[in-house]
Amino acid sequence: METRRITVLSAGLGVPSSSRLLADQLSAAAERHLNGAGFSVQVDVVELRDLAVDIANNFVTGYAPPRLAEVIAGVEATDGIIAVTPVFSASYSGLFKSFIDVLDPKSLDGKAVLLGATGGTDRHQMVLDYALRPLFSYLRTRTAPTGVFAGPQDWGTTDDGGSSLSDRIDRAAGEFTRLLEGPQPGRKPAPMESLPFEQLLAGISGSA
């Protein structure tokens, strides 16, 4: 069974965090859809608040500490990214943007991305289309058409006839899964295999 690796980036600051809660629900839905499509799934969850000091040191020194370097390598090697940020001043958080800034801009080229955001009012939901989507478009990712915003009212039951949070999560996860089917342009190629000298020589002789 083919495997898809997903990296979940949660930029929530509190414990517990609504951003982490949304990230977990998006991740679970994506895993369910991918399993249904015949894939096994490996999920790596990254709490960016745990890396805040390392990210700041990276800007000052130009070098990533070992823990941050390991996370960066994991993001570069992953097939898909679920990125969830709280909203501050009508945009993504500074911590979220700082982590994106320490990545090689070319490392996300072609990767599948599912966007999520949380905020204290529905007025912030446009952050998905006016802040997050342009950022990941600049990074040349393949972003799921449906992003998911969750406000305070979304964590309870609603009877207003609108689309519930679980419905939006399921739709977004289905779109994300379709991006992860087939060859993945964002996947790093396998390292070149070093063949023994005898095999190289035999190959040259055979083509002569």
Contacts of 113 by beta carbon, 8 Å cutoff, 6+ apart: 80, 81, 82, 83, 136, 141, 142, 143, 144
Q: Which residue has the tokens 């069974």?
A: 1
Which residue has better confidence, 20 or 187? 20
**Spatial CB neighbours of 182, under 8 Å, sequence gap ≥ 6:** none
pLDDT at 197: 55
What's the rounded Cα separation, in Å, for the pair 93 and 17? Answer: 14
Q: 99-110 burial, b for 16+ CB within 10 Å, e for fewer?
A: bbebeeeeebee
CATH number for position 174: 3.40.50.360
Domain that holds residue 147: 3-207
Beta-carbon contacts of 53 under 8 Å, excluding residues fewer than 6 positions away, are none
170, 29 contact by CB (below 8 A): yes
Q: pTM, whole model, 2 decimals?
A: 0.86
Average pLDDT over residues 28-32: 98
The sign of the CA dihedral 157, 160, 165, 170 is positive
Number of domains forming the structure of the chain: 1
Q: How far apart are CA 2 and CA 8, in angstroms?
A: 20
The rounded distance, in Å, linking the Cα atoms of 43 and 45 is 6
Q: Determine the Cα–Cα distance for residues 147 and 163; give it in Å rounded to an integer.
A: 13
Q: What tens digit of pLDDT does each residue of 36-55 get?
A: 999 999 999 999 999 999 99
Mapping DSSP to helix (H, G, I), strand (E, B) and coil, where does residue 18 land? helix
Mean pLDDT of 97-113: 96
Q: What is the mean pLDDT of residues 110-127?
A: 90
Q: Check whether 14 has a pLDDT greater than 60.
A: yes
| Angle, CA 145 vertex, CA 141 and CA 148 arms, to 5° | 105
Question: 190 or 133: which carries more pLDDT confidence?
Answer: 133
User: How confident is the model over 135-189, as pLDDT tens digits?
Assistant: 999 999 999 999 999 988 887 655 555 568 999 999 999 999 999 998 777 666 5
